[in-house]
Chain A
Amino acid sequence: MYVPASNWFIAASLVVALILNFLPLQGDILIFRPDFVAIAIAYWNINHPHKMGMGVAFGMGLMMDVGNTGILGQHALAYCVIVYLTLIFGRRLRLFNSMQQAPQIGLILLIMQIVIVLVATSGGSALPDGQYFLAALSGTLLWAPGSYLLSMLLKQKSDPDAL
């Protein structure tokens, strides 16, 4: 069932995702931390295309860049790539349930990380070691529960209107 999403709900979910990204984690947990913002952006663009434009993704990316103390424009570009990929493959992805979507989302997250690495290396940084890409794996694992949670929240929110 298609449940319409309000702009406020989308904005709130993106802010929560940003806060999750800013959690002061350290050590081994940090290695496994997925990019929550990337996952949220992918979710909205697959399930509610054209509700959240590329400009919003760009802005989220800039905030992530400043918070992340990185190069300005690095995450912005990466999140725009996510919007692009999910817009193109969105119709195909919507045919699957979230469990089947997960590996494909993992691939998209991996492409996003490769974009980030390319930007960083063009600035002169060394290539990261393999564990950097574990975030794509944890993002894949998070996709099914994450999208279930978001759709449940959406349904709950819009139920009184429907009845």
Chain B
Amino acid sequence: METAPQFFRHGPGPFARLFVFALLSCLLIIGDTRFKYFPQLRQAIGVVIFPLQKIAYIPANIYDQVEEFIASFNLLEENIKLRQIYLENREQLLKLASLEAENIHLRNLLGAVQQIETKTRTKAVLAKILYTPRDPFNHKITLNKGSQHHIQLGQAVIDDKGIVGQITQLYPWSSEVTLLTDRDHSVPVQVVRNSLRSVVSGTGKNNQLELRYLSVNTDIQQGDQLVTSGIGGVYPPGIPVATVLRIERDPTGDFAQIISTPVAGVDRNRQVLILSLIQPESRDALEMPKIESGKK
């Protein structure tokens, strides 16, 4: 039932109300961007909106099931193909084991230091992408696995080609992944060709990463593969990250401008893997993975 319109009492005018709410949102914005003040508020709202996100995912779920149903008609063919791929991968894995043994042996012969014990063994959890933001400011995605699924902050997220990003915000049933391309995100990498170590940072643009602070005469070429170096303990070593796209060597500048593109389909995938590193026995749980803060 509609009540009679209030002719005389309207409360504060639109502008006054806008002023109050604008002030409130400015406080929130400053608190959020400068001081990261409101994690609990974010958590609470995240729990409230989760059912809505779940409902919004239903059409995609149906689409997936229909696709699976259609795909089930040529299961046999697919099975044969997959088995072939499995055999090929298997062969390479066997080779890897023997190479590893040989590597250790050669190191022993050389009297070299054993490779630093890093967390190289991983366990993977499959997750679906719940949401990709529309605006280009947020290089983040939401996944359908959260703290209830034993996901932790700082875990690396990969797809079938390489690193996608790392988990930076946890909700009970979902989590946020900061993509490689985010402005505040950096990954320790090394060049496959010559083991040159560096750090690759996001630029805030789609499909663009930057290798900063490498001098003009650095030995790096177009097309070089960058893989994680494992330094920092967040990402396991040896996973592909990016390919060098172009290099601008300005002799008057101090550093070369090196732009690379991520190998992972950062905005093409529906499913990703969340890696959890298995801690080797010998080390303390000191390494708290942390995202680099936004100050520059």
Which residues on A are within 8 Å of B, measured CB to CB?
A: 4, 15, 18-20, 22-27, 30-31, 33, 50, 53-55, 57-58, 61-63, 65-74, 76-77, 80-81, 83-84, 87-88, 116, 119-120, 122-126, 128-129, 132, 135
Q: How far is the CB of A4 from chain B (nearest CB, A)?
A: 4
Whether A24 touches B134, Cβ cut-off 8 Å, given contacts A18-B49, A66-B45, is no
Q: Which of B189-212 contact A (CB under 8 A)?
A: 204-205
Whether A73 touches B25, Cβ cut-off 8 Å, given contacts A68-B135, A124-B294, A132-B135, is yes
Who on chain A is nearest to B50 by CB? A67
Q: Which of B2-16 contact A (CB under 8 A)?
A: 2, 10, 14-15
- Interchain CB contact (< 8 A) of B29 among A26, A67, A68, A71: A71
User: Cβ of B29 and Cβ of A119 under 8 Å apart?
Assistant: yes
User: How distant is the Cα of A132 from the Cα of B138 in the complex, in angstroms?
Assistant: 13
Who on chain A is nearest to B53 by CB? A22
User: Cβ of A80 and Cβ of B29 under 8 Å apart?
Assistant: no
Assess whether B75 is interfacial by the CB under 8 Å rule: no
User: How distant is the Cα of A116 from the Cα of B17 in the complex, in angstroms?
Assistant: 19
Whether A81 touches B46, Cβ cut-off 8 Å, given contacts A73-B32, A123-B33, is no
Assess whether B183 is interfacial by the CB under 8 Å rule: yes
- Interchain CB contact (< 8 A) of B24 among A22, A58, A68: A58
User: Cβ of A84 and Cβ of B132 under 8 Å apart?
Assistant: no
- Which 8 pairs of residues, A with B, have the shortest CB-CB distance? A73-B28, A4-B2, A77-B25, A22-B56, A73-B25, A69-B140, A120-B137, A72-B32
User: Cβ of B135 and Cβ of A80 under 8 Å apart?
Assistant: no
User: Cβ of B28 and Cβ of A24 under 8 Å apart?
Assistant: no
Chain B residues in 8 Å Cβ range of A58: 21, 24-25
Assess whether B268 is interfacial by the CB under 8 Å rule: yes
Chain A residues in 8 Å Cβ range of B93: none
Chain A residues in 8 Å Cβ range of B10: 50
9 A/B residue pairs, CB under 8 Å, sorted by A: A22-B56, A24-B56, A63-B52, A65-B45, A74-B25, A124-B294, A126-B183, A126-B204, A128-B136
User: Cβ of B17 and Cβ of A70 under 8 Å apart?
Assistant: no
Most chain A beta-carbon contacts within 10 A, residue among B29, B49, B268: B29
User: Cβ of B132 and Cβ of A26 under 8 Å apart?
Assistant: yes
User: Cβ of B25 and Cβ of A84 under 8 Å apart?
Assistant: no
Assess whether B22 is interfacial by the CB under 8 Å rule: yes
Question: Chain B 43-67, CB within 8 Å of chain A: the 1/0 string?
Answer: 0011011001101110110000000
Q: How far is the CB of A73 from chain B (nearest CB, A)?
A: 3
Main secondary structure of the interface of A (DSSP, over half): helix
User: Cβ of B28 and Cβ of A72 under 8 Å apart?
Assistant: yes
User: Cβ of B133 and Cβ of A70 under 8 Å apart?
Assistant: yes
- Interchain CB contact (< 8 A) of B17 among A18, A20, A74, A84: A84
- Interchain CB contact (< 8 A) of A24 among B1, B48, B132, B137: B132
Which residues on B are within 8 Å of A, measured CB to CB?
A: 1-2, 10, 14-15, 17-18, 21-22, 24-29, 31-33, 38, 41-42, 45-46, 48-49, 52-53, 55-57, 59-60, 129-138, 140-142, 169, 176, 183, 204-205, 267-268, 270, 294, 296
Whether A70 touches B132, Cβ cut-off 8 Å, given contacts A18-B49, A24-B57, A123-B29, is no
- Interchain CB contact (< 8 A) of A19 among B38, B56, B135: B56
User: How distant is the Cα of A33 from the Cα of B169 in the complex, in angstroms?
Assistant: 25
Chain A residues in 8 Å Cβ range of B129: 24
Chain A residues in 8 Å Cβ range of B53: 22, 67
Whether A67 touches B18, Cβ cut-off 8 Å, given contacts A72-B32, A125-B204, is no
User: Cβ of A19 and Cβ of B183 under 8 Å apart?
Assistant: no
Chain B residues in 8 Å Cβ range of A67: 49, 52-53, 131, 142
Who on chain B is nearest to A62 by CB? B45
Q: How far is the CB of B3 from chain A (nearest CB, A)?
A: 9
User: Cβ of B29 and Cβ of A77 under 8 Å apart?
Assistant: yes
Q: How far is the CB of B246 from chain A (nearest CB, A)?
A: 19
Chain A residues in 8 Å Cβ range of B142: 67, 69
Whether A26 touches B135, Cβ cut-off 8 Å, given contacts A61-B25, A74-B29, A81-B18, is no
User: Cβ of B45 and Cβ of A63 under 8 Å apart?
Assistant: yes
User: Cβ of A125 and Cβ of B183 under 8 Å apart?
Assistant: yes
